[in-house]
């Protein structure tokens, strides 16, 4: 019997054996299963065995799960590309670099990389980015029951975090006030940032020439609509004694759900993808410190040798090897020389041998 089992295993193709061992049809299915399982476990713990579930937030929960499905589909499709695989694989190895905390702060918290484009654009990104982050930090824990509030007698609120009483504060105190109005504050930040972005895109002629409604303006309208309807809920409760609250809550909820479904497939997808910019930065810095690749024409170092070799490898993988008659690959030229070399191929004039480069080749922003 054992010999027969061994023979059967030998006869199996590697693909069949791989499918049996993994028990998942695809990476997408595996990622979704593990993520949803983790959320359910955390919700079970946070809601004290599902005894504190807010059914009014059920729609947001469904929208979030659909968003996760779209996100994993988009991320896995993007992550399977040869250049992305290289960045992710080598980025994980470099995640414990000493410069990682500083890089993460610049890219994910202070947006220093946008500062070079001007204080106006930096301000609008800070308002939109941190407004959305603050809203997510409040909304998702409430939706999945990781955080909720109880009100014992005596005018005090108890903030429950992951099923444990975290802190008890006066109902009319500063902490309670900030907790109630955290979403209102985030909405005001997003509205200000979106208005700045829309003003720039309508007034700046270069921006107007590069924008289109579906890709560039619709995400801003969605964020604006969510923020305004969210503030309208507070206005209804505070100034109108709850009049119209039910209808407005449905409008707000559907706007959030539609945005969550749209998010992985539009311009806003760069928000959940943004942390990978830290990988790319570490990759460039680490291998740039080791050895720089000299341009085959001008002799100046322009990228790391590792990155140049990776680019050539990716091009060959996609059957796009740009090997020139001069004995080098086009990826071994710096960007200004690459442009001039390509012009020379069309014009017949050896422009790549002209020592003068573009005046803005080292421009920031």
- pLDDT tens, residue by residue, 10-41: 454 555 545 544 677 777 778 888 888 898 89
Q: Which domains does the chain have, with CATH numbers?
A: 27-68+96-275 (1.20.950), 293-353 (no CATH)
Per the structure block, which two tokens stand in for 364? 């920031």
**pLDDT by residue for the chain (365 residues), tens digit each?**
444 444 444 454 555 545 544 677 777 778 888 888 898 898 898 888 888 888 888 889 889 989 988 898 888 888 888 888 898 899 889 999 999 999 999 999 999 889 888 899 999 999 999 999 999 999 999 899 898 888 877 788 888 888 888 888 888 888 888 888 999 999 999 999 999 999 988 887 777 777 888 888 899 999 999 999 999 999 998 898 889 889 999 999 999 999 999 998 888 888 888 888 999 999 989 998 888 988 887 888 888 999 888 888 888 887 776 777 777 787 888 888 887 777 776 666 655 555 555 544 444 44
154-170 exposure pattern, b = at least 16 Cβ within 10 A, e = fewer: eeebebbeebeeeeebe
pLDDT tens readout for residues 301-317:
888 999 888 888 888 88
Q: What are phi and psi of 156, to 5 degrees?
A: -120, 145
From the list 69, 70, 71, the residue with the least C-alpha distance to 273 is 71
236-267 exposure pattern, b = at least 16 Cβ within 10 A, e = fewer: beeeeeeeebeebbebbbebbbebbebbbeee
- The DSSP letter of residue 295 is P
| CB-CB contact of 283 with 90 (8 Å) | yes
């Amino acid at each position: 019997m054992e010999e027969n089992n061994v023979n059967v295993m030998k006869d199996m193709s590697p693909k069949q054996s791989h499918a049996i061992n993994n028990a998942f049809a695809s990476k997408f299915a595996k990622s979704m299963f593990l993520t949803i399982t983790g959320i359910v476990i955390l919700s079970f713990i946070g809601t004290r065995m599902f005894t504190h579930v807010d059914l009014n937030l059920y729609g947001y929960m469904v929208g979030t799960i659909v968003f996760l499905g779209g996100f994993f589909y988009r991320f896995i499709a993007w992550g399977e590309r040869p250049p992305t695989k290289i960045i992710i694989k080598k980025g994980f190895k470099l995640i414990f670099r000493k410069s990682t905390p500083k890089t993460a702060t610049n890219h994910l918290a202070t947006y220093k990389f946008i500062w070079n484009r001007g204080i106006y654009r930096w301000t609008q990104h800070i308002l939109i980015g941190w407004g959305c982050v603050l809203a997510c930090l409040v909304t998702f824990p409430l939706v999945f029951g990781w955080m909720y509030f109880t009100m014992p007698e005596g005018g005090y609120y108890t903030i429950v975090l992951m099923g444990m009483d975290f802190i008890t504060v006066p109902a009319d105190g500063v902490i309670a006030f900030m907790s109630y109005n955290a979403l209102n504050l985030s909405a005001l930040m997003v509205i200000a940032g979106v208005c700045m972005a829309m003003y720039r895109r309508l007034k700046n002629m270069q921006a107007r020439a590069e924008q289109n409604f579906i890709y560039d303006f619709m995400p801003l309208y969605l964020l604006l609509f969510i923020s305004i309807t969210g503030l309208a809920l507070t206005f209804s409760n505070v100034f109108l004694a709850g009049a119209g609250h039910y209808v407005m809550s449905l409008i707000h909820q559907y706007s959030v759900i539609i945005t969550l479904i749209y998010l992985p497939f539009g311009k806003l997808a760069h928000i959940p993808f943004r942390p990978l910019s830290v990988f790319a930065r570490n990759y460039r810095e680490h291998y740039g410190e080791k050895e720089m690749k000299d341009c085959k024409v001008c002799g100046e170092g322009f990228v790391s040798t590792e990155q140049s070799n990776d680019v050539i490898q990716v091009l060959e993988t996609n059957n796009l090897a740009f090997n020139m008659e001069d004995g080098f690959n086009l990826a071994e030229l710096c960007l200004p020389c690459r442009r001039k070399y390509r012009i020379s191929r069309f014009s017949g004039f050896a422009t790549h041998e002209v020592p003068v480069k573009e005046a803005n080749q080292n421009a920031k922003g």
